[in-house]
Chain A
Amino acid sequence: MAGVAGGNDFQWCFSQVKGAIDEDVAEADIISTVEFNYSGELLATGDKGGRVVIFQHEQESKNRPHLRGEYNVYSTFQSHEPEFDYLKSLEIEEKINKIRWLPQQNAAHFLLSTNDKTIKLWKISERDKRAEGYNLKDEDGRLRDPFRITSLRVCPITHIVDIKPANMEELTEVITAAECHPHQCNVFVYSSSKGTIRLCDMRAAALCDRHSKFFEEPEDPSSRSFFSEIISSISDVKFSHSGRYMMTRDYLSVKVWDLNMENRPVETYQVHEYLRSKLCSLYENDCIFDKFECCWNGSDSAIMTGSYNNFFRMFDRNTRRDITLEASRESSKPRATLKPRKVSTGGKRKKDEISVDSLDFNKKILHTAWHPKDNVIAVAATNNLYIFQDKIN
């Protein structure tokens, strides 16, 4: 079966799954962000309970060279705690919204983690290089933690963009996502709930109220509905590794934009168009507000995003082929090839297809990550982290 991002011989297969198997999912265990570091050696996840788990890729053992190697737990720490803002009578969730790795400059690893209120910079260093194997206990006999995790700075936040209107009652648009350009550190983009993207240059002004570029696709009047604005709300924006493109995710599609063309995207990929006729139901059960993320592969030739029923989708930008795969325990046998899935939209449902009405909207893949160099992907399915890789022939 022809695959995506690698040619005709390419196939995705199961590698590992992390997390509890229980049917009852603890809310705190729900994964809220996944991120590879720059080399792909480390993979970090954040969860609703405010914890960060870092996995490290272990080299293939000499005994089993056909295996690419596995990701095993490297470090775990409590990044954020729930807070209560007494002034506003609001609880601030400890959920980790985002993790970003800093480029590695020495033996220590640095990452940023954030919840709704506070961004923290963490330094993870191995305390004792020789900790492996011996001398793991200190004088008191307690097991020494081989890692030192230091929280470095909790800085006051400087506002760069403020779109709050003078009168709060006039608020009709909010910022939904933002990202810095991978090469030009003074450039960043932010997306809005109305489906627009603004590119700003921090060299122009301290407060980037005026954008340098404004990206918006004109609305198709024939598809206008009460849900048009909600589904146009951008849930994620990601620059390509090259820095020449950016990708946005709205409820039903993924769009690739050329930074030099503001009036429309250069590519549009339908993630689950069959949901368009179900928007009223999805509005009722709040699924229409789900925020899906998207990611590029290392060479920017393919993009990936999640969907419902634990499905995730990949699009090859060159061949225009796409594939739907599922993260499930059933297909989690070691090195088992993932079978492409299909949702039947017409009247007749073929043998292996699943009908739209049977999709489980509780099982949503919101967070995915692609290894910066290799064909290894991490897919977060509620409280489980799946790792898939290409088949090495």
Chain B
Amino acid sequence: MLGRGVKRKWSCLADLEAEALPAEKQKNGEEGPGDEGGFHVAPSESDMSHLQQRQLVLGLCLEKLQHYQAGVELSLRRSVLLINTLRQIQEDMQSDGVETCTSETLLNDVNADSCLLRDDVREDMPVTCPGCSEGDGDDLPLSPPLSPEFPSQEANSSADQPRSLPPATISSFSDAVNAMGYLSDLALDDIFEDIDTSMYETSDLPSAWAAGSLWPISVSLWADEDVKMRPSSHASAGSLQSCLMDLNELDHIMEILVKS
């Protein structure tokens, strides 16, 4: 995304992911000196649909909140703004889930022009997408096709066998608290020490999120990139990811995996 004035196209989500990667390397501190002589912004983002932007911002948000792991301290102001942005995205996703059709039927359309990517989805089809309403022979089976990378086995196993959160996640939570600065006086490591994943009912997690207890979590919605870029946090990705799978992120993740 941070080219040097090079025009890029925003035609599909895959391009967005590709753009997001080089930007990581160019991140600086708040008033840091320039690297290689300055960075610039991409051409207009008006081509991006609301959903595309939401997806991108969500990923960036989580990335930034995890940045303390790389040794970059987050100011209190920035942490609060990022968490508020996450809350806003979550509310947006929740209200979105009410209006659009189920994730399975949306994902069945593997066409490049899938309804999820079209800007006109929300306006034209308040209730169902073309795949649902047309109901012709082009529809694929209802069960979503799972790609080999999809950690469904992990999701199933962690649901069946409750276990405590891995240490990496606990330390990342307490690190996040420390990064919040002087006003923070919570002992989150105590809270999270003995918690089983089975305690996270699917309905509870979104409400906890809305209440603001979404401290930086070591999980990425882009499974492949996460393995490459942050191997240290991937260990904790599995168990939490199983919880997130049940949320509205499911449709988005499936969409990415289907596209890749």
Tell me the A residues contacting B by CB distance below 8 Å: 23-27, 30, 32, 48, 88-91, 164, 168-174, 176, 193, 226-227, 229-230, 233, 275, 277-286, 289-291, 355-363, 366, 382-383
Contact = CB atoms under 8 A, between A and B. Distances in A.
Contacts of A90: 73, 178, 181-182
**Is chain B's binding surface mostly helix, strand, loop or mixed?**
loop
Interface in B1-58: 1-2, 5, 20, 23, 26-28, 30-35, 37-46, 48, 53-54, 56-57
B78 A358 contact: no
Given A168-B185, A277-B46, A358 B5 contact: yes
Given A226-B88, A229-B88, A362 B38 contact: yes
Interface in B42-89: 42-46, 48, 53-54, 56-57, 60, 64, 73, 76-78, 80-81, 83-85, 88-89
**Is chain A's binding surface mostly helix, strand, loop or mixed?**
loop
A169 B45 contact: no
B198 interface: no
12 contacts: A24-B33, A27-B33, A168-B186, A227-B85, A233-B77, A275-B41, A284-B20, A285-B26, A357-B40, A361-B39, A362-B33, A362-B34
B147 interface: no
B27 A285 contact: yes
A30 B46 contact: no
Contacts of A284: 1-2, 20, 23, 60
Contacts of B76: 174
B184 interface: yes
Contacts of A282: 41
A167 to B, nearest CB: 9
Contacts of A170: 211-212
A247 to B, nearest CB: 20
Given A164-B183, A230-B81, A30 B31 contact: yes
A356 B7 CA distance: 12
Contacts of A26: 33
B32 A233 contact: no
Contact of A362 (B39, B54, B64): B39
Given A280-B53, A284-B2, A289-B30, A89 B178 contact: yes
B212 A171 contact: yes
B202 interface: no
A282 B30 CA distance: 13
Nearest to A89: B178
B190 to A, nearest CB: 14
A168 B38 contact: no
Contacts of B184: 168
Contacts of A48: 31
A280 B34 contact: no
Contacts of B43: 357
A275 B42 CA distance: 11
Contacts of B48: 280
A169 B85 contact: no
Contacts of B33: 24-27, 30, 362, 382-383
A197 to B, nearest CB: 16
Q: Which of A193, A361, A362, A363 has the most CB of B within 10 A?
A: A362
A52 to B, nearest CB: 17
Contacts of B60: 283-284
B41 A361 contact: yes
A27 B32 contact: yes
B180 interface: yes
Contact of B45 (A164, A173, A281): A281
Nearest to A91: B73
A35 B39 CA distance: 29
A226 B54 contact: yes
A190 B12 CA distance: 44
B54 to A, nearest CB: 7
A356 B80 contact: no
A356 B64 CA distance: 25
A227 B60 CA distance: 12
Nearest to B52: A280
B213 interface: yes
A30 B78 CA distance: 21
A276 to B, nearest CB: 10
A359 B3 CA distance: 12
A21 B39 CA distance: 20
A222 B213 CA distance: 30
Contacts of A356: 41
Given A281-B42, A366-B31, 4 more contacts: A24-B33, A226-B85, A279-B45, A360-B40
Contacts of A30: 31, 33
B51 to A, nearest CB: 12
Contacts of A278: 41-42, 44-45
Contacts of B64: 286
